[in-house]
A and B are shown apart, each in its own frame.
Chain A
Amino acid sequence: MPYDVPIDQAKRDFKEYTFVKRLTASEQKCAFHVKNKEGDDLCLKILNPTCDPARVAREIAAMQSITHPHVARLREYHTPDASSARYFMVEDFVPGEDLTTVLAAAPLSRKAMAKLFSKIFDGLSALQSQGLVHRDLKPSNIRVRGDGTPVIIDFGLVRHLGLPDVTATAEGAAIGTPMFFAPEQFTGTKRDIDSRTDFFAAGVLIYMAMTGNHPFAKVGMGYKQLEAAVCNDASCLTVPGFLKLEQSVRVLTTKLLEKHRINRPADAHTVRDILRKMEV
C-alpha cells in the first residue's frame, strides 16, 4: 500500500515549500511537487518512517555528488535526528511525463528508442562512475521532459558498491520492483548486485519499447512464476515480435537480458555508444 501523508499535514511540516501538487506515491515514500523560496521546481519525498533510517543514508550522500543532465539532482536528504523527526529527500522536479507514457506508444522506431536509451545509459554511466546502483529502474522512475530528454529519478534504493551495505535484509537482494528485477535480485545475495543489475532492467525497458510487450511478465502471473520466467526462460528472444527487429537491436537486447551478469555488458558507456550509433 502506498505511504500516504495528507497534503495539509505536509504543508504544516514543510513550511519552507509551496506545494504545487501530489505526485505518485510508493510504499516507501509520499511525493509532492513543490517550489522553494527561490521558485525552483522540486520533488519533496517524505519517507515512510518504518524504513530503516540508516538504510540508504550513506548511499544518498554519494548521490548528492552527481551532477548530470540525465540524473535527477538530489538536493537534500534528512534522516530523523535529535533536531527533527522528519525523514525526507528533495530532488529536482523534472517536468514532463513518466517513461510509462512513452512506452504506451510502443513499439518505438529503432531511432527513437536509441535516442532515448543512449541518454538513459549516459545517466547510468554517471551512477556507475560513482559506484552506485539504482536497483529500481522502471518506467515510473524515468521522467521524460517535453523535448524527449529522459532523467533517472528516485534514488531511495540506491546502493553504493564501495560501502558496506546496511539494508534491512541480511543477505537478500530482493529490493526493488519485481517486474524489472534481474535474476540476481530474485536468487542472489547483495554481493551479486552491481551496475549490471540496472542494465538488465534497462534491457527489459528496451524490449518493451521495441515490441510493446514485457519480456517476461504475463497477465495473471504470480511472483514465483515471474521469478521462474526471469531466471530461466529466454523464449522472449524467439518470439516473432522480437525476431523481426533489426539485428543490432536484437543483439544488444539479448546481451542486456543475459541471465548471468557476467554475460551482460559491464560498462554503461559502451552500451551508450552502441545506442548512439543506432540513432542514425
Chain B
Amino acid sequence: MLIRSATSCERWRFKLKPGFWHQCGDRSQTIALEQLKLGNGVGVILSPRDLTYANAKLRGKQYEAHGASVLVDPQFYLPTSSLGPKDGWDLSPFHLPAAKLAKLSPTAVSALSRHLAAISKACSCSGIIAPAVILEAGHPEVVDANRVLFAAAKTAGDSIGVPTYCCIPVGHSVVQSSAEIANALAAATSNTSSGWLLAWEFGAGRLPASTSAVQAFGSACVALATSGKPVLHLCAGPLAILSPAFGCKAAGVCHSQNTWKLDRSRFIKKKKGGGGGDAPPRYFSSGLWGTLVFPDEYAALTPSQRAAVHTPTPFSLGVRATPPFNRAQLPKWDTNKHLLFAIGNRVKKLTALGSARAAAVAAKKDLDSAAGLHASIAASGKVLKDETAAYQQAWSKSIELVLAAHKNDYDFLDLL
C-alpha cells in the first residue's frame, strides 16, 4: 500500500491557482491563448467535447508555456449523451450509464485510471479533474458512480504526483431543495480531493434572475469553501462576479452563453447547425454588469450614461465614449474577447482582496451600482434588450442573504 504521511500530503495541497480560468468551449482555445498573453487568466480547462485529443495536447503545451495551469474536464456529465468526446480521447468505452459506472470492474477502473493519468501527462495538466455524472435527486447510483470515478482519478493523480479535484455537477432536480443539496454535497465531499469544481444547473434563462436560486448556489459555494479546500466555480459566465463573494478561489468562464451555467444542451446533438446567425454584437459593460447592443443601444444613451457604461479593454479599443459609433468598431469575435477580459479583470480584483467577505461587499457594491445605472437608463425611456437588467438586484440581494445566513462561515474563511 502506498504510504503517504501528512507531510507528503502537504505538497499536494492548494495547487489550484486562484483567479480567472478560461473554461474552453467550442472555438475558444485560440482566444484563451491570446488572453493569457495579455495577462488575463491563470489557468485553462480543456474539454474532450470541444477539442480533439491531438489539439488538446498541443494547446496544453502552449498554455503551460504561458504560465497557465492546465486541466482537462473529462465531462462525463451525461455519460451516454449524443455528443461525446471528439477524436482521439478514447474515453467512449467509459461513457456508460451511471448504474454501470457504479459497478465498474476493478480492471475497468484501473484502465480508466491509467487513461486519465496518460491524458493528464500528455496535455501538460497540473492536476486531474475526476469525471463526474450530473447529480440528480433520488438517484443514489449517480453518487456511487461518481465515487468510483473519483477513486479512479485519485489513483491516477497519486500515480503521477498531481492533485485530484472532485467535480460536483449539481443537477436541477437537486438544486430545488436545500436538504438535497446538503446530501449531494456531503456525499461528494467525502472524497479525499484536493479541491472542488462546482457546476450548477440553474433553471431556464440565460442567467439566473431568482434571488433564492442564486442564494442556494451561494450557500453551497460557502459550504464547500469552508471545507478548507479550494473551490473552482465551473461554467461561471458573468456570474463569476459572485464566485469570490461566495468563497470560491477561482472561476471558469467561456464566452459562449451555453457555458454560463451547467447546460445539458451542450451535450445533445442539434438537428441543425445552430450558431447565432448574424446577430448584432453585444458589448459587455462592467458598469452594467451586462450587455447592450452595439452600436444601436450604446449610441442611444446620453453622454453621461455612455461614460458609465464604457468599459475599455484591449479588445474594445474601437469603442469610444463619444460619437461616431459604428459596427466596425466592435468585430464579432472581439465582443467575446472583450467580455472575457472584462470579467477576468473583475474576478482578479475581487480575488486579490484576499477575503470572501471583502469580495462579497465589493461585488454587492458593484451590482448595486449596476442596478442603479440600469434604473437610470430605464428612467430615461430606454429599454435594453436581452433582459440585461433582470438579475443584478437579485444577485446583490443574494449576497446580502448569504452573508447574513453564513456569518460564522465567513468568519471561518477569515481564519484560513
B182 contacts A131, CB within 8 Å?
no
A255 contacts B226, CB within 8 Å?
yes
Interface of A is mostly: helix
A251 contacts B6, CB within 8 Å?
no
The answer to whether B228 has its CB under 8 Å from any CB of chain A is yes
Which B residues are CB-close (under 8 A) to A67?
A: 3, 5
Interface residues of B in 377-416 (CB under 8 A from A): 408-409, 411-412, 415-416
Contact among B10, B182, B228 with A265 in the assembled complex (CB-CB below 8 Å)? B228
Give the complex CA separation of A255 and B408 in angstroms. 8
The answer to whether B192 has its CB under 8 Å from any CB of chain A is yes
Give the complex CA separation of A117 and B6 in angstroms. 16
Which A residues are CB-close (under 8 A) to B10?
A: 269
Interface residues of A in 16-65 (CB under 8 A from B): 62, 65
Which B residues are CB-close (under 8 A) to A269?
A: 6, 9-10, 13, 228
The answer to whether A130 has its CB under 8 Å from any CB of chain B is yes
Which A residues are CB-close (under 8 A) to B173?
A: none
Which B residues are CB-close (under 8 A) to A185?
A: none
Distance to closest chain B CB from A92 (angstroms) = 17
Give the complex CA separation of A62 and B409 in angstroms. 34
The answer to whether A110 has its CB under 8 Å from any CB of chain B is no
B186 contacts A265, CB within 8 Å?
no
Give the complex CA separation of A213 and B301 in angstroms. 66
Residue of B nearest to A255 (CB): B412
Give the complex CA separation of A254 and B408 in angstroms. 8
Distance to closest chain B CB from A173 (angstroms) = 13
The answer to whether B271 has its CB under 8 Å from any CB of chain A is no
Which A residues are CB-close (under 8 A) to B229?
A: 266-267, 270
The answer to whether A111 has its CB under 8 Å from any CB of chain B is no
Which A residues are CB-close (under 8 A) to B80?
A: none
Distance to closest chain A CB from B184 (angstroms) = 9
Residue of A nearest to B4 (CB): A129
Residue of A nearest to B414 (CB): A251
Interface size class of B (residues with CB under 8 A): 20 to 34
The answer to whether A101 has its CB under 8 Å from any CB of chain B is no
Give the complex CA separation of A271 and B226 in angstroms. 11
A192 contacts B228, CB within 8 Å?
no
Most chain B beta-carbon contacts within 10 A, residue among A62, A130, A277? A130
Give the complex CA separation of A162 and B229 in angstroms. 20
Contact among B1, B9, B151, B228 with A266 in the assembled complex (CB-CB below 8 Å)? B228
Distance to closest chain A CB from B405 (angstroms) = 11
Residue of B nearest to A130 (CB): B4
Most chain A beta-carbon contacts within 10 A, residue among B10, B190, B409? B190
A277 contacts B6, CB within 8 Å?
no
The answer to whether B223 has its CB under 8 Å from any CB of chain A is yes
Give the complex CA separation of A261 and B5 in angstroms. 25
With contacts A68-B6, A126-B5, A267-B227 taken as known, whether A261 is within 8 angstroms of B186 at the C-beta atoms is yes
The answer to whether B54 has its CB under 8 Å from any CB of chain A is no
Which B residues are CB-close (under 8 A) to A129?
A: 4-6, 9, 192
Query: What mask results when residues 1 to 38 of chain B are scored 1 for a CB within 8 Å of chain A, else 0?
Result: 10111100110010000000000000000000000000
With contacts A162-B151, A266-B227 taken as known, whether A192 is within 8 angstroms of B408 at the C-beta atoms is no
Contact among B6, B190, B228, B411 with A270 in the assembled complex (CB-CB below 8 Å)? B228
The answer to whether B142 has its CB under 8 Å from any CB of chain A is no
Query: What mask results when residues 158 to 169 of chain A are scored 1 for a CB within 8 Å of chain B, else 0?
Result: 000110000000
The answer to whether A85 has its CB under 8 Å from any CB of chain B is no
Give the complex CA separation of A176 and B412 in angstroms. 29
Give the complex CA separation of A66 and B415 in angstroms. 29
The answer to whether B81 has its CB under 8 Å from any CB of chain A is no
The answer to whether B42 has its CB under 8 Å from any CB of chain A is no
Interface residues of A in 218-275 (CB under 8 A from B): 247-248, 251-252, 254-255, 260-267, 269-271, 273-274
Interface residues of A in 122-177 (CB under 8 A from B): 122, 125-126, 128-131, 161-162
Which A residues are CB-close (under 8 A) to B186?
A: 192, 260-262
Residue of A nearest to B408 (CB): A254
Residue of A nearest to B143 (CB): A191
A270 contacts B416, CB within 8 Å?
yes
The answer to whether A91 has its CB under 8 Å from any CB of chain B is no
Give the complex CA separation of A128 and B4 in angstroms. 10
With contacts A261-B186, A262-B189, A270-B416 taken as known, whether A125 is within 8 angstroms of B9 at the C-beta atoms is yes
Binding site for A on B (CB under 8 A): 1, 3-6, 9-10, 13, 151, 182, 185-187, 189-190, 192, 223, 226-229, 408-409, 411-412, 415-416
Q: Could you list 23 examples of A-B contacts with CB < 8 Å?
A: A65-B3, A68-B6, A125-B9, A126-B6, A128-B192, A162-B151, A191-B187, A247-B411, A251-B408, A255-B412, A260-B186, A261-B186, A262-B189, A262-B223, A263-B223, A265-B228, A265-B412, A266-B227, A269-B6, A269-B9, A270-B227, A274-B416, A277-B415
Binding site for B on A (CB under 8 A): 62, 65-68, 122, 125-126, 128-131, 161-162, 191-192, 194, 247-248, 251-252, 254-255, 260-267, 269-271, 273-274, 277
With A252-B415, A265-B226 known, 14 other A-B pairs at CB within 8 A are A68-B5, A126-B5, A126-B6, A162-B151, A252-B412, A254-B408, A260-B182, A260-B186, A263-B409, A265-B227, A267-B227, A269-B13, A269-B228, A270-B228
